[in-house]
């Protein structure tokens, strides 16, 4: 299995994908003009808009993997033979176990908020003693709630055994016992990648412009422009991961007996033991991008050349609130028990021959890697990790491409 080096930029994670693309209210612009009306008129432009987006994404995953492997070769006996050679060979044992778990990913993209529009408001050229009002009330609410709860239990028990042969009480020939090799090399791999949230809110339509003008109205007029624009983004990203990895490997070769043989050489050869265990846990990643602000550089407010004793007011109330809450709770327990043995050979009470005992090598390599609990707000999550989870990463790349990240 090839190892792939991946740089995780947006969010880390899974085989379950929820993609929400929610456009805002599609106004080309808001224009209100009260112009050229006669004296003593009463003119009102009243506009109210409520844009509300509520995204709730929840995942609850409970995965239990219980793997029990018992691989055995040998356990032969050749006893009480007379007048010939005894040759016992045990085969090799090669065990491979892979447990990969991926799940719990939420992705939401909320585009083009209603506050990001062009506002062109004007009260101009109206007659004396007229009463003119423009009222704009726009409320933009975005509530994104992304929750993941993962409970992953991996229990792997591998018992690999070769040898355990007996050749006793043989007469008149040589005795040869060869135990095979035990390989749990690249064999026990547990990979868990769970709980990732990614949210992009606002900014797809660009920021709007504002123009509010009270111009050249008659004397004793009462002119008011009132704008109340509120943008409230409430983002809540929560991850709760409980991962328990329990790996028990018992690899054994040898344990042969050649006792009480007469009249020949005794040769006992135990094989090699090679064990590799890799446990890689990735859990709990949050990334959020929220573009703030209502308008760009183009904001124009003007009260000019109105008549005597006129009463002119422009009121602008902008509220821009962003509440981002990113929480991670990870409980990772790795319990790895590796028991590798070669040899344990007995050659006792042999007569009239050479005794040769060869014990093989033992190689153990245990790798534990845990990556988790990372939050990124209006920035990239830069993590370099070794992942043997190619299908998962292909999914993430496709997700990032869809979001333009």
pLDDT, one tens digit per residue, over 253-281 is 888 888 998 988 889 898 888 999 999 99
Q: What is the pLDDT of residue 187?
A: 77
Query: Per-residue pLDDT for 4 more than 50?
Result: no
Pairing of β 4-8 and β 383-387: antiparallel
End-to-end Cα separation, the chain, in angstroms: 29
Look up the domain containing 155 and give its range. Answer: 4-403
Neighbours of 86 (CB within 10 A): 19
Query: Which range among 90-94, 298-302, 380-384 has the greatest average pLDDT?
Result: 90-94
pLDDT, one tens digit per residue, over 54-71 is 899 999 999 998 998 988
Rounded CA separation 296/138 (Å): 18
Measured between alpha carbons, how far is residue 26 from residues 36, 49, 204, 325 in Å?
Answer: 30, 12, 12, 29
Q: What is the pLDDT of residue 1?
A: 34
pLDDT, one tens digit per residue, over 322-347 is 888 989 998 989 899 989 888 888 88
pTM of the model: 0.73
How many domains does the structure of the chain reveal? 1
């Amino acid at each position: 299995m090839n190892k792939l080096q991946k740089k995780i930029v947006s969010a880390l994670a899974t085989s379950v994908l929820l993609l929400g693309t929610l456009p805002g209210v599609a106004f080309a612009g808001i224009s209100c003009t009260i112009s050229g009306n006669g004296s003593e008129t009463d003119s009102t432009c009243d506009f109210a808009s409520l844009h509300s987006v509520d995204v709730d994404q929840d995942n609850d995953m409970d995965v239990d993997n219980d793997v029990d492997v018992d691989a055995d070769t040998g356990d032969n006996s050749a006893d009480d033979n007379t007048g010939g050679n005894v040759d016992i060979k045990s085969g090799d044992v090669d065990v491979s176990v892979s447990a990969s778990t991926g799940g719990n990913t939420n992705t939401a993209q909320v585009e083009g908020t209603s506050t990001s529009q062009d506002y062109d408001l004007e009260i101009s050229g109206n007659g004396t003693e007229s009463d003119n009002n423009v009222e704009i009330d726009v409320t933009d609410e975005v509530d994104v709630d992304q929750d993941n709860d993962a409970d992953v239990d991996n229990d792997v028990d591998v018992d690999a055994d070769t040898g355990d042969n007996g050749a006793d009480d043989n007469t008149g020939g040589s005795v040869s016992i060869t135990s095979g090799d035990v390989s749990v090399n690249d064999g026990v791999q547990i990979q868990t990648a769970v709980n990732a949230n990614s949210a992009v809110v606002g900014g797809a339509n660009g920021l709007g412009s504002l123009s509010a003008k009270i111009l050249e109205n008659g004397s004793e007029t009462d002119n008011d422009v009132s704008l109340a624009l509120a943008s409230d983004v409430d983002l809540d990203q929560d991850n709760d991961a409980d991962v328990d990895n329990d790996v028990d490997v018992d690899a054994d070769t040898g344990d042969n007996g050649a006792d009480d043989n007469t009249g020949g050489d005794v040769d006992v050869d135990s094989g090699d033991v090679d064990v590799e265990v890799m446990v890689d846990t990735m859990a709990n990643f949050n990334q959020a991008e929220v573009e703030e602000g209502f308008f760009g550089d183009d904001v124009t407010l003007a009260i000019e050349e109105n008549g005597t004793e006129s009463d002119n007011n422009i009121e602008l109330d902008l509220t821009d609130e962003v509440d981002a809450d990113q929480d991670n709770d990870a409980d990772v327990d790795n319990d790895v028990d590796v028991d590798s043995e070669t040899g344990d050979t007995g050659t006792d009470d042999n007569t009239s021959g050479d005794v040769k005992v060869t014990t093989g090598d033992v190689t153990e390599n245990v790798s534990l890697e845990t990556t988790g609990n990372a939050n990124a707000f209006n920035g990239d999550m830069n993590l370099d990790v070794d992942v043997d989870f190619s299908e998962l990463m292909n999914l993430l790349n496709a997700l990032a491409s869809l979001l333009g990240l």
